[in-house]
Amino acid sequence: MHFSTFNVAIGVALGLMAPPATAQVTPQQMQLLVNNCLQCHAAENTSAPLMGDKQAWQARLQKGRNQILRNTVEGINGMPPMGYCSACTEQDLNALIDLMLAPALEESND
């Protein structure tokens, strides 16, 4: 399942998009997240946007979902290609990206 970037942007702008209660992540994907991504994405001392940091992910969302996926696969600055997750398929990475982006898609009340 792909969100259209356009619809995401409009949904966020209008605050109309219902937050994905939980992104669809399998237990295996959750394990990949813990083993590979959280060492940076749950660590204050890295420049990685942290899990649950709504503002950080909202800022990232501006560049579009496809670009975010590409940066995750190819790497960008301190983000290593595939986030060091050699066992991750593109489907896994997509699911984990959706999980990371989920807070940014929630209705904003701040």
Residues near ligand HEC (CB under 6 A) are 36-37, 39-41, 46-49, 60, 63, 67-68, 71-72, 76-80, 83-85, 88, 93, 96-97, 100
Question: Rounded to the nearest whole angstrom, what is the least distance from the CB of residue 35 to ligand HEC in the complex?
Answer: 9
Helix (H) or strand (E) run with residue 90 in it:
helix 90-105
User: What's the half-sphere exposure (Cβ side, CA atoms, 13 Å) at 16?
Assistant: 7
Question: Rounded to the nearest whole angstrom, what is the least distance from the CB of residue 16 to ligand HEC in the complex?
Answer: 24
Six token digits for residue 61: 């969302």
Q: How far apart are CA 49 and CA 43, in angstroms?
A: 9
Question: Rounded to the nearest whole angstrom, what is the least distance from the CB of residue 10 to ligand HEC in the complex?
Answer: 20
Question: Rounded to the nearest whole angstrom, what is the least distance from the CB of residue 36 to ligand HEC in the complex?
Answer: 4
Residue nearest to ligand HEC (CB): 83
Tell me whether residue 17 or residue 51 sits nearer to ligand HEC (CB atom): 51
37-44 long-range contacts (CB < 8 A, ≥24 apart) are 37/83, 37/85, 37/96, 40/78, 40/79, 40/83, 41/100
